[in-house]
Amino acid sequence: MKKCIVLISVAITAAFLLFTGYISNAKELQHDANAAKRLEIIRNKLVNLPEMKFADSKKYYEESLKELTTLIEKYPGTEEELKARLYAGNIHIFMNNFDEAIKCFDFILNSEINNALKANTLFFKIKALIGKGDTKKAKDVVAELRLIEPLAAESFTNELGNILRIGMDAPMFNTADINGKPVDLAKYKGNIAVLVFWATWCEPCLQEFPNVKKMYDKFKDRGVQVIGISLDDDIGDLTGFVKQEEISWPQIYDGKRWNGAIPSLYHVQNLPKLFVLDRENKIRYIGSDTEDVSRVVTTLLSESKEVPLFR
């Protein structure tokens, strides 16, 4: 599966607004005034980007990442280098480059730094690990963070405890699709449901879309319901794409991106994200690979007699 796109604007904004002063007390680091001025310009540009539409902000994040990389290479061994790596790590989280983000944070953690910077870096490393889906390592880092900042670590304890897992009951929702038709997940009990979280601005979602469509055509008459949950900024983008691609399965939209009721209910942090629910509304798959989804659905269909799809 190709790289997905994630937006964790709260984490990014926090890094740029709250933690920029913590590096000034780092041990054995030099300060460069020119680098500091340049870094402040980059920071000021970044703090406003989470409020923009993704399509508009993405190019600015990419440009800022290039500027930060140049600064890192030009001013090694300075406190500004570590600030730049902290910012770069958060941009990598935004762009779903979780491994690159973790490299940035590990570099900082392997430097001579004070506890304040260490706590902040551990905080964002946990965010990257959660985004990557590595909850085991995330818990290990939470334990390390707890030794420095217990309250910050506790917030992750709650977050990790709320992450949906295979075998859990799927959170129910009752809403309407973009055509005003009711979508009550509870009424699909007895059938298999596939929830597809996506957006037209998400390039990997569009790349995966033909496979989603094939999967839908394969199972639509066998007691399998596909439900799209769009994180689009503009309903016109969604309805235009639905019409152009002749999408037949229901699409849910509320215009709130990651803060939407259903993405929040399912703790969605990256796109595309697919959930497979069995006939008892239990979660049997969480991921982004439609081939895996098809295999899971085929297995579920073979477990018991197929039933007509709820209409």
pLDDT tens profile 211-223: 999 999 999 999 9
Bridge pairing between strands 251-253 and 224-230: parallel
Residues 2 and 290 sit within 8 Å (Cβ to Cβ): no
Residue 109 placed within a domain:
yes
Per-residue pLDDT band for 89 (boundaries 50, 70, 90) equals very high
pLDDT value of position 258: 84
Of 125, 142, 162, at which residue does a domain stop?
Answer: 162
pLDDT value of position 284: 94
Higher pLDDT, 233 or 215: 215
pLDDT value of position 31: 87
The answer on 202 and 133 residing in a single domain is: no
Average of per-residue pLDDT values in the chain: 85
The answer on 291 and 204 residing in a single domain is: yes
Least confident of 22-26, 28-32, 107-111, 295-299: 22-26
Residues 111-145: tens digit of each pLDDT: 988 888 899 999 999 988 887 778 889 999 999 99
As a whole number of Å, the CA-based R_g of the chain is 22
Residue 308 placed within a domain:
no
The answer on 191 and 128 residing in a single domain is: no
pLDDT of residue 305 exceeding 80:
no
The answer on 132 and 209 residing in a single domain is: no
Percent helix, strand, coil in the chain (nearest 5)? 55, 15, 30
The tally of domains found in the chain comes to 2
Residue 4 placed within a domain:
no
The answer on 139 and 16 residing in a single domain is: yes
Of 133, 162, 191, at which residue does a domain stop?
Answer: 162
Helix (H, G, I), strand (E, B) or coil at 176: strand
How remote is the C-alpha of 185 from its chain's centroid?
23
Residue 168 placed within a domain:
no
Residue 276 placed within a domain:
yes
The answer on 255 and 146 residing in a single domain is: no
Helix (H, G, I), strand (E, B) or coil at 238: helix
Least confident of 65-69, 201-205, 275-279: 201-205
The answer on 134 and 197 residing in a single domain is: no
60 CB neighbour count, 10 Å cutoff: 15
Picking from 112, 113, 114, 92, the residue whose alpha carbon sits closest to that of residue 101 is 92
Helix (H, G, I), strand (E, B) or coil at 19: coil
Per-residue pLDDT band for 3 (boundaries 50, 70, 90) equals very low
Picking from 117, 61, 119, the residue whose alpha carbon sits closest to that of residue 92 is 61
- Domain holding 14, by residue range, is 9-162
pLDDT exceeding 70 applies to what percent of the chain? Answer: 86
As given in the structure block, the two tokens for residue 167 are 């075998």
Residues 250 and 238 sit within 8 Å (Cβ to Cβ): no
| Mean pLDDT on 226-248 | 95
pLDDT value of position 52: 66
Residue 55 placed within a domain:
yes
Residues 207 and 225 sit within 8 Å (Cβ to Cβ): no
Phi and psi at 33, nearest 5°, equal: -65, -40
Residue 2 placed within a domain:
no
Buried-exposed string 178-214: b where 16+ CB fall within 10 A, e elsewhere: eeeeebebeebbebbbbbbbbbbbbebbeebbeebbe
Per-residue pLDDT band for 13 (boundaries 50, 70, 90) equals very low
Per-residue pLDDT band for 2 (boundaries 50, 70, 90) equals very low
The answer on 294 and 180 residing in a single domain is: yes
Angle subtended by helix axes 33-46 and 54-74, to nearest 10: 170
Of 104, 137, 162, at which residue does a domain stop?
Answer: 162
The answer on 216 and 81 residing in a single domain is: no
